[in-house]
Amino acid sequence: MNKQSGIHYLREHREAGSNKPVPMEVTRIRDTVVAGLGDLLQGAFDAVDDSLFELANNARSNNEQNRYFEAMREIRIKRKGVEKHFQNAVSQFFANPPHAGQIQEESLSKQATVDTLSLVGDEDLEEQVALNAMITKAKAHFQGPLLQLQTRFSQVYPGATEDSPVNPMAPEHLCSAFTEAIQALEIQIRERLILLKQFDRYVVSNLGMLLDEANRILIQAGVIPNFRYHGKSGKTQTTSTSATQPATDSSASESATSTEDEHENILFDQIRQMLALQRANAGMPPRHTDPRLRVVGGAELTDLLNSLPLIDALPSGDNLSAGEPVAIDLRQVVQQLLARADAGDGREPALNEFDEDLINLVSMLFEFILDDYNLSAPVQVLISRLQIPILKVVMRDKTFFSQATHPARRLLNSLARAGIGWSTSDEKAKDKLYNQIHNIVQRILNEFTGDVALFDTLNQEFEQFLEKENRKASLVEQRTRESERGRIKSQKAQETVDTLLKEKLARYKLPDPIYDILMNGWSRFMFLAYLRDDVEHRWHEAVRTVDDLIWCLHPHQEDEERDQWVRVVPSLLKTLRAGLEEVSYNSSRLDEMMGHLKHELAEAFRTNAAIEARQDSPSEPEPEEEIATVHQTAVERQQELEEAAISEYITQIDGIQIGNWVEFRLVNGASFRCKLSAIIEEADCFVFVNRMGLKVIEKTRVELAHEMRRGRLTLLEQGALIDRALDAVVGSLRSKTA
């Protein structure tokens, strides 16, 4: 946010104000508040550092990780300067506190209007919204102590009056001082919002103790020791030193709900402002000023909508998911209803602008929903049948857009989330989940008469159903995951053992008994050692045994080497026998094979004969070898090109988390959806399961990247349906009003 966003009045006021002597009581309060805020601010900065580190640790790409680390570095370097700037600004408020009228005018200038909205950048708007929400919440939560403190400070400062009170500790002052202090930080909007969030959490939310201390100091100084004010109930309340806290808690609890509602309405207000801007750009005058129109809205429109039978929006038959999802022209439906409300006075009935915005917003939401690829087709069709019921809900209860906990909104989100795993091959008629969703939609269409409690009841029933189904699927998925981990680890172990032995034994022509013991006996011990290495740590010992055996078969002429041979062989034979017995090697042949092994070792030591090497000295390559080398080089070049082409997709694959849903498309056009259940790092294997927890496919990281590159793999978004729809609507409106 820059200076033009409405916080620069701090500096201007401080520069314009004169440094008048501060009363002794105010000096004491100032020192206490500045020190207390400094301590709270340190906690906020520590939390910001932790948040950025966590984000960097979970970043999906190197660029994203570097961004968070750079932000951490920037904040750490300039942190002390920001803290000092903030504390100095707070001190100046006590020396020259702005008057309430001055702040109100400044606050009004910061409100985004239809005329100024298009001039405000998206990032500035987001920061201003966060700041306003923080201030509004604090003023409501600490309403009692703030009002007392403002009244007492207005008695202390000579220039303050009843019409123009002052309060150096007003939340708008402190928040604006902090916003001004962080202007020196060169960070992006997301990191700046994290700063504001932690400032709200650690500083603003803990203002109560500082406000109470300031009131206590002034009461001790005899400044209005008995304070009378009117709360929300309209009754006169009296507070003293002993009664201050109960009154404060009562006032705060009464205002908490309204504050949260106001905060949640910010997004809806932004959307309405952008819709109003569109009307203004189109040259449409306000409807209430047009004498040719009879504006209809509110209860009259709600009654008209309630008269509309929901069955009109259904396809013929009992199967609600038959056919394709169809967007209903809600504006046309409402216009037809308005035509019935003609009062006969010659004026054309028209919607008031507020209700028209609601209808437009519902239409835009369903346009997104019906175009959302993340929704499975059957669920998308079923949800499309709820357009008119949701319109009725919105006309009766506007908090649908602002409250994430609204019953109708929660139910839609639950239906979409539960149905994300649907595939076109699923048998709808036999599926419990499909039947449950179908019945919910049917009940809404049959039973909804305007009472939103129906959605709450249906959502509770649906959540109970999902909990039972998910519990069964989770058990199956857990067994699938454990089975796949065991299978893949065993496969990896066998491949590792086979590769290692073949590589070591390919160098020499070993005697048959020794070759047989290693390949058919000791390989089993190595296999188990690899699987149990996390606990027993015997893998390297098993490999060293093979190396020791081969070393003992080599010629050793030096006395030192021969002495070492004598020391190594007894323990080697003991280790081999113990390992072969552990894997239940053929007991009837074990003694015989060990006898052959001793004979071969003794013969090698006695005759000092070398085991014959299979590798010949390098020679000129044959023509066939030259062709193979050229071909291999071409293959390597092709592989390099492939790796470069899929590098960006590898980054996306690495961003997939356990529990994320994807869709695979086959060559024949069929598709299926599945969930990532496990990533087995040692085998570079991704295991996917269906809704029932059964394995459907496994792929390596590179294979998944190739599938994505070919357009056969799609990552599905899993955020709350209505939240994603609202974000899409806001983005669309911003692009149109830019």
pLDDT band at 145 (very low <50, low <70, confident <90, very high): confident
Q: How far apart are the first and last CA of the chain?
A: 18
The pLDDT assigned to 461 comes to 94
pLDDT band at 443 (very low <50, low <70, confident <90, very high): very high
The pLDDT assigned to 299 comes to 65
The pLDDT assigned to 180 comes to 92
Q: Is the pLDDT of residue 620 over 60?
A: no
Q: Where are the domains of the chain?
A: 3-225, 279-477, 508-613, 646-728
Q: What is the dihedral angle through the alpha carbons of 28, 30, 32, 34, rounded to the nearest 10 degrees?
A: -160
pLDDT band at 236 (very low <50, low <70, confident <90, very high): very low
Residues 679-701: pLDDT tens digits? 988 788 899 999 888 999 999 99
pLDDT band at 13 (very low <50, low <70, confident <90, very high): very low
Q: Is the pLDDT of residue 99 over 90?
A: no
Which distant-in-sequence residues (6+ apart) come within 8 Å of 33 by Cβ? 90, 94, 169, 210, 213, 214
Which distant-in-sequence residues (6+ apart) come within 8 Å of 505 by Cβ? 515, 518, 519
Query: What's the CATH fold of domain 646-728?
Result: SH3 type barrels. (2.30.30)
Pairing of strands 293-296, 348-351: parallel
pLDDT band at 4 (very low <50, low <70, confident <90, very high): very low
Which distant-in-sequence residues (6+ apart) come within 8 Å of 472 by Cβ? 693
Half-sphere exposure of 125 (CA within 13 A, CB side): 18
Mean of the per-residue pLDDT values of the chain: 78
> DSSP letters along 14-59, please?
HHHS--PPPPHHHHHHHHHHHHHHHHHHHHHHHHHHHHHHHHHHT-
Query: Is the Cβ–Cβ distance between 712 and 512 less than 8 Å?
Result: no
The pLDDT assigned to 209 comes to 86
Which distant-in-sequence residues (6+ apart) come within 8 Å of 706 by Cβ? 642, 646, 649
The pLDDT assigned to 84 comes to 93
The pLDDT assigned to 645 comes to 75
User: Residue 414: in which H helix or E strand, if any?
Assistant: helix 407-418
Phi-psi category of residue 352: left, alpha or beta, with phi > 0 → left and psi -120 to 50 → alpha: beta
The pLDDT assigned to 83 comes to 92
- Span of 88-97, 349-358, 359-368, 421-430 with lowest mean pLDDT: 421-430
Coil, strand, or helix at residue 365? helix
Residues 639-672: pLDDT tens digits? 676 777 788 888 889 889 898 999 999 888 888 8
For the purposes of burial, counting CB atoms within 10 Å of the CB of 49, is it exposed (0-12), middle (13-18) or buried (19 or more)?
Answer: middle
pLDDT band at 24 (very low <50, low <70, confident <90, very high): confident
Q: Is the pLDDT of residue 462 over 90?
A: yes
The pLDDT assigned to 3 comes to 38
pLDDT band at 501 (very low <50, low <70, confident <90, very high): very high
- CA Rg, the chain, in Å? 37
Considering the chain, what percentage of its residues have pLDDT values greater than 70? 75
